[in-house]
Amino acid sequence: MALIKAVGLGKTYGSTRAVNDLSFEVHPGSVTGFLGPNGSGKSTTMRLMLGLDRGDGATTYDGRTFAELDHPMRHVGALLEAKPFHPTRHARNHLRMLAAANRIADSRVDQVMEMVGLATVAKGKPKKFSLGMGQRLGIAAALLGDPDTLILDEPSNGLDPQGIQWLRSLLKHLAGEGRSVFVSSHLLQEMAVLADELVVIGRGKMLANGAVSDFISHSGLGTVEVRTPDGATLAPAIEALGATIVRDGDSLVVSGATAEQIGEAAHSVGARLHQLATRDATLEEAFLEATGLSEEFRGSTGDLA
Amino acid sequence: MIDALRYEYVRLRTLRSTYWLIGIAMTFQLIMSIVLAAVIAQSDSFGRGNDAFDIIATIGASSGFAPLFIAYIIGLLGVFSTGHEYRHGMIRATLTAIPSRTHVFAAKVISTVVISAVAALLCIVIALLSIVAFGLDFPSTRALVNMTAGTLIFTALFSLSGLAYSALTRNQTAAVALLMLVPSIVEQIIRAIVIVIKSASDEPSSDGGIMNILKYLPYDAGGKLYTRASLDDLLSFLGFVPFGAVGGGIVMGVFVGALLAGSYALFIRRDA
């Protein structure tokens, strides 16, 4: 079981600091999601972790850098981009080639082809593969050495809903076996149910690092819905807590105060409560809040007419 | 290092271009060997021993009137060995399988040399079989060894230059263009310019001078490994004295070595 420890990762392209002093850990037995807007430096960070890009800092896997690992695919499985294979080399041969460099038996090649659902096209040419099939082949390559660490860059790209569900189950299962899984994705809903911890970056800088639940709760975007016939009495007491209120019919939607605080306030002013319901922020809301000022590429709806 | 060689072995074996490039080279060699052997067999004036072997083995390149065609075909194996890595985004997969860039580069150099030499050797064998089939005289052992060694070394160096071009440019198309154009056009342009300058000088027939530049055109110099007569001989009146096989081979070897050293240095330093 490998602890991934990234310390001071940095990368500069010309005058642009693409990754700036990133340090984090990925723990065995967990799925750590890697989030950030487009161009925030996620892929560059992953390449730095694997020694593919030259930059600052170091990443160790149980104390050893990637370059120091003997037969690295047996320790770290990586998927970095879609379709990284020769278009006419059979899928199985692509894996055999990687296996040969890591002393992995051909029987394992067949095993992972079966695992990712490509056994029937093992002798197919990747140039005829869909993006999803290409991703599956990339995932097969990452799993080839039965590694205790996985680094996957957007593995769900191109997968259909069944494929995404399969991938989620697979990664959960692998983490459940005690492996370290570090995965980037733009599918925030998917990440919300998959990840145990998060590393969130924007413009190459660390924005948040920790448990998913902490990231969401620290966003301050959770609300409490209060239904009361005594809104006029209760509202000032809630505002006295420093919370903000949005009126919605006979309900008050409160931000910045917990249900417990509101209940206490209602009791103190003698207001009747018909409903007191908390609503947590979604990962998407928390992510957008955290990265709002860190978007590298911002679009607009413009004048579509 | 062994792991990197195993990777290269499977890479070459599982790539169709390996087979069709060697197939094209051998088919060309077979057809042209048969044609040349048949013509020579019916000729009363053409030498039938070493001369016939030299001409058939190199498909006329030993005369200096044509390039060594098989080298241009087999040389593409060198281009592809690195070019495919960049063209198809394989380089990152390769380096996550083998993190030692030195091992990856060295394995590519070794595999390119071996497969190029083996392919060239097969072409020599085809030439010998054609000689036997048409009843021509076998070459002397010395001529056989010299021509075989010369052809193998030139072809291997030619392929290595292709490997270096693709590693330097990280662009397979550009590397193919360089491999085809530098020997056949760039060197010819340099030659033409040098000849004009020498011809226009006060002493056009004097020895050496600017004509010495032509001795160091790498592919032309390397061609001395298999040429037994050359168009260069026609330039002797301009005071041009080319290197022999050893000198020419060294010139080409140093050139290819410099290309490889530069491409290795960049390969180590660049982002994958």
pLDDT per position as a tens digit, B102-160: 999 999 999 999 999 999 999 899 989 998 888 888 888 888 998 999 999 999 999 99
| Structural domain that includes position B87 | 1-269
pLDDT band at B51 (very low <50, low <70, confident <90, very high): confident
> Which of A11, A59, A93, A97 to mutate: most B Cβ within 10 Å?
A97
- Contact state of A81 with B92 under an 8 Å Cβ cutoff: yes
CA distance A240 to chain B (A): 56
Question: Pick from A50, A83, A97: which is nearest to B96 by CB?
Answer: A50
Question: Pick from B11, B89, B98: which is nearest to A84 by CB?
Answer: B89
CA B168, CA B82: separation in Å to the nearest integer?
10
Could you read off the pLDDT of B54-100 as tens digits, one per residue? 888 888 888 777 788 899 999 999 999 999 989 888 899 999 999 99
CA distance B27 to chain A (A): 23
Instruction: Give me the tens of pLDDT residue by residue for chain A, a chain 305 residues long.
Output: 689 999 999 999 988 899 999 999 999 999 999 988 888 899 999 999 999 999 999 999 999 999 999 999 999 999 997 778 888 999 999 999 999 999 999 999 999 999 999 998 988 888 888 888 899 999 999 999 999 999 999 998 888 888 898 999 999 999 999 999 999 987 788 888 888 999 989 888 888 888 877 777 777 677 888 898 888 888 888 888 888 888 877 788 888 888 888 889 889 988 888 888 888 777 777 778 777 766 666 666 555 55
Q: Which of residues 190-209 of A touch B (CB under 8 A)?
A: none
Query: Residue B169 pLDDT more than 90?
Result: yes
Question: Pick from B6, B14, B96: which is nearest to A72 by CB?
Answer: B96
ipTM value, please give it: 0.81
What confidence score (pLDDT) does residue B48 get?
A: 67
What confidence score (pLDDT) does residue B231 get?
A: 59
DSSP state at residue A113 = H
Residue B156 — left, alpha, or beta (φ > 0 → left; ψ -120 to 50 → alpha)?
alpha
A19 touches chain B (CB under 8 A): no
- Contact state of B14 with A78 under an 8 Å Cβ cutoff: no
- Contact state of A52 with B98 under an 8 Å Cβ cutoff: no
What confidence score (pLDDT) does residue A302 get?
A: 59
What are the chain A neighbours of B15 within 8 Å (beta carbons)?
86, 88-89
Residue A23: C-alpha distances to residues A27, A61, A75, A196 (Å): 13, 14, 21, 18
How many beta-carbon contacts under 8 Å exist across A and B? 85
- Contact state of B89 with A86 under an 8 Å Cβ cutoff: no
Task: Please tell me which residue of chain A has the smallest CA distance to B5.
Answer: A101
Tokens of A58: 């170091």
A56 touches chain B (CB under 8 A): no
- Contact state of A89 with B271 under an 8 Å Cβ cutoff: no
What confidence score (pLDDT) does residue B157 get?
A: 97
Could you read off the pLDDT of B173-231 as tens digits, one per residue? 999 999 999 998 899 899 889 888 878 877 777 777 788 888 899 999 998 888 876 55
CA A255, CA A245: separation in Å to the nearest integer?
6
Is B230 buried (19+), middle (13-18) or exposed (0-12) by CB count in 10 A?
middle
What confidence score (pLDDT) does residue B195 get?
A: 84
CA distance B14 to chain A (A): 6
Domain count, chain B: 1
Contacts of B33 (CB under 8 A, 6+ apart): B56, B59, B126, B127, B129, B130
What φ, ψ does residue A140 adopt, rounded to 5°?
-60, -40
What are the chain A neighbours of B100 within 8 Å (beta carbons)?
67
What confidence score (pLDDT) does residue B266 get?
A: 95
